[in-house]
């Protein structure tokens, strides 16, 4: 077992993550904003409240970065918003590009290395109205945006994530149908797990990723490109190994395999899924759950890193998201300590992990509600005052002194 007080490898990325739509506020031109307003107007859907002002980070990003640097983090993963950069087809907002460029420069001024995500679930309204990722030219449209955004990442950015959780994007239509049906969505998720990604969307996401990576390299050959995949620890019970493989392959392994040849691969892990001969094994009533209803299972990170390293054995890994929604910060520390321990042990056994980004830097809009608090930093919903939690200083302390934090 690895002692958590051991020194991190040279150059190891140690940071926290955010996503533009979840923290910026006022993202009026995005497909998600439009969907929020529609679902809330109709009533009865999975969206409980609008993103609204979110954390007002579009204006307060310097304060966010100041806090992360002061807490000891050395890296910051944030996304740029396609809907702001290309509000209409072919119309590029140079003001938006300048805004995100200033964020990159601001990160360096504070001693933070930026990891920039190009697509974190949201797209322009016009893209959605044209068929979204189902459109035949979706990958070309995305690549055009990526090329236009080159001034943001061409200088001072070493890592670019093309698409965040493409497997979630590919299963989103089926998930929405489940959640907006005649009730029973919670029961379906509990009994059957996540729906299977749409095959056409899976192909579209892989094609878009490859086109985007080519676009980045054409403008900034030095930038290391990859994408981040949501990976649960899928466990077989009662001899259900084949059933577990059948469950995991379309939902995550296909997307992991698509990373062959990339510079790095992002792993985003929160909990586990147990599969028996009859399908998904429900989480027992007596186990601890997070505010999202997921099982408290920090061991998932070490397990998924080992799994991913067998599916994409030649690609370096970066933990781009890992965290817990809780109103008890001591449980956040306990969860993260267990997760980091599992990561360290996997690394000691030869798994090539190059960085760890906690989700999330801030309490934010969790795709329908502000209630699940993932943040290392609390955000007042009225004043937008930022208050770092004890977990923030504890985890951030592992950055500047280059040692694993201890609980």
CB neighbours of 127 closer than 8 A, spacing ≥ 6? 31, 82, 135, 138, 141
Whole-angstrom distance, CA of residue 88 vs CA of residue 394: 44
Determine how many CB atoms are found less than 10 A away from the CB of residue 289. 15
Query: Do residues 166 and 209 make contact, with C-beta atoms less than 8 angstroms apart?
Result: yes
Whole-angstrom distance, CA of residue 327 vs CA of residue 381: 15
Q: Is the pLDDT reported for residue 303 higher than 50?
A: yes
pLDDT digit string (tens) for 260-271? 999 999 999 999
Residue 164 CA, distance from chain mean position: 6
Whole-angstrom distance, CA of residue 117 vs CA of residue 373: 22
Query: Do residues 399 and 14 make contact, with C-beta atoms less than 8 angstroms apart?
Result: yes
Query: Do residues 52 and 59 make contact, with C-beta atoms less than 8 angstroms apart?
Result: no
What are the C-alpha distances in Å from 162 to residues 113, 306, 359?
17, 23, 18
Q: Domain limits of the chain?
A: 13-399
DSSP-assigned beta bridge partners for residue 91: 88
Residue 318's pLDDT band, with cuts at 50, 70 and 90, is: very high
Whole-angstrom distance, CA of residue 407 vs CA of residue 399: 15
DSSP-assigned beta bridge partners for residue 236: 275
Nearest 5°: the CA angle 182, 294, 23 is 90
Residue 2's pLDDT band, with cuts at 50, 70 and 90, is: very low
- Span 301-321, average pLDDT: 98
- For residue 380 the two structure tokens come to 């007042």
- Span 103-119, average pLDDT: 98
Query: How much is the mean pLDDT over the chain?
Result: 94
Q: Which of 86, 165, 303, 321 is catalytic?
A: 165
Query: Do residues 126 and 191 make contact, with C-beta atoms less than 8 angstroms apart?
Result: no
Residue 253 CA, distance from chain mean position: 17
Which SS3 state, helix, strand or coil, does residue 79 take?
strand
165 carries an active-site annotation: yes
Query: Do residues 93 and 84 make contact, with C-beta atoms less than 8 angstroms apart?
Result: yes
pTM of the full structure: 0.97
Using the structure block, give the residue that is written with the tokens 């099982």. 295
Residue 6's pLDDT band, with cuts at 50, 70 and 90, is: confident
Residue 278's pLDDT band, with cuts at 50, 70 and 90, is: confident
pLDDT digit string (tens) for 25-48? 999 999 999 999 999 999 877 899
Whole-angstrom distance, CA of residue 384 vs CA of residue 397: 25
| 13-399: CATH, from 3.20.20.80, 3.30.70.920, 3.40.50.2300, 2.30.110.10 | 3.20.20.80
Q: Characterize the bridge pairing of strands 224-230 and 265-268.
A: parallel
H/E stretch holding 160: strand 159-164
Whole-angstrom distance, CA of residue 79 vs CA of residue 77: 7
pLDDT digit string (tens) for 169-224? 999 998 877 766 554 455 556 556 799 999 999 999 999 999 999 999 999 999 99
Q: Is the pLDDT reported for residue 387 higher than 90?
A: yes
Q: Which residue has the higher pLDDT, 142 or 194?
A: 142
Q: Characterize the bridge pairing of strands 272-276 and 265-268.
A: unpaired
Q: Is the pLDDT reported for residue 332 higher than 90?
A: yes
Task: Reduce the secondary structure of 235-301 to three states and give it as a string.
Answer: EECCCCHHHHHHHHHHHHHHHHHCCCCCCCEEEECCCEEEEECCEECCCCCCCCECCCCCECCCCHH
Whole-angstrom distance, CA of residue 307 vs CA of residue 312: 9
- For residue 319 the two structure tokens come to 């933990």
């Amino acid at each position: 077992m690895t002692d958590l007080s051991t020194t991190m490898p040279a150059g190891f990325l140690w940071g926290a993550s955010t996503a533009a739509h979840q923290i910026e506020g006022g993202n009026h031109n995005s497909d998600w904003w439009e969907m929020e307003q529609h679902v809330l107007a109709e009533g009865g859907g999975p969206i409980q409240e609008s993103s609204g002002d979110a954390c007002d980070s579009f204006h307060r990003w310097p304060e966010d970065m100041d806090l992360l640097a002061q807490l000891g983090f050395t890296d910051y993963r944030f996304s740029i918003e396609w809907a702001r950069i290309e509000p209409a087809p072919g119309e590029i907002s140079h003001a938006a590009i300048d805004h995100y460029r200033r964020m990159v420069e601001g990160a360096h001024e504070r001693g933070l290395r930026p990891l920039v995500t190009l697509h974190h679930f949201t797209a322009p309204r016009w893209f959605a109205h044209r068929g979204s990722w189902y459109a035949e030219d979706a990958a070309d449209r995305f690549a055009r945006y990526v090329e236009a955004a080159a001034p943001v990442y061409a200088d001072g950015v070493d890592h670019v994530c093309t698409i965040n959780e493409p497997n979630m994007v590919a299963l989103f239509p089926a998930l929405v149908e489940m959640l907006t049906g005649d009730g029973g969505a919670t029961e379906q998720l509990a009994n059957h797990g996540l729906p299977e990604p749409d095959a056409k969307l899976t192909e579209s996401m892989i094609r878009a990723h490859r086109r985007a990576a080519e676009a980045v390299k054409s403008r900034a050959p030095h930038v290391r490109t990859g994408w981040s995949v949501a990976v649960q620890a899928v466990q077989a019970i009662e001899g259900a190994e084949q059933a577990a493989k059948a469950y995991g392959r379309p939902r995550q392994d296909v997307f992991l395999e698509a990373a062959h040849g990339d510079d790095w691969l992002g792993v985003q892990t929160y909990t586990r899924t147990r599969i028996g001969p009859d399908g998904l094994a429900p989480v027992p009533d007596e186990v601890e759950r997070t505010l999202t209803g997921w099982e408290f299972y920090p061991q998932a990170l070490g397990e998924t890193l080992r799994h991913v390293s067998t599916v994409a054995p030649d690609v370096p890994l970066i933990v781009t998201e890992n965290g817990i929604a809780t109103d008890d910060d001591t449980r956040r520390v306990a969860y993260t300590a267990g997760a980091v321990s599992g990561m360290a042990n996997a690394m000691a056994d030869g798994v090539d992990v190059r960085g760890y980004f906690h989700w999330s830097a801030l309490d934010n809009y969790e795709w329908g509600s502000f209630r699940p608090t993932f943040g290392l930093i609390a955000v007042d919903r009225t004043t937008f005052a930022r208050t770092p939690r004890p977990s923030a200083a504890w985890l951030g302390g592992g950055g500047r002194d280059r040692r694993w934090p201890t609980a």
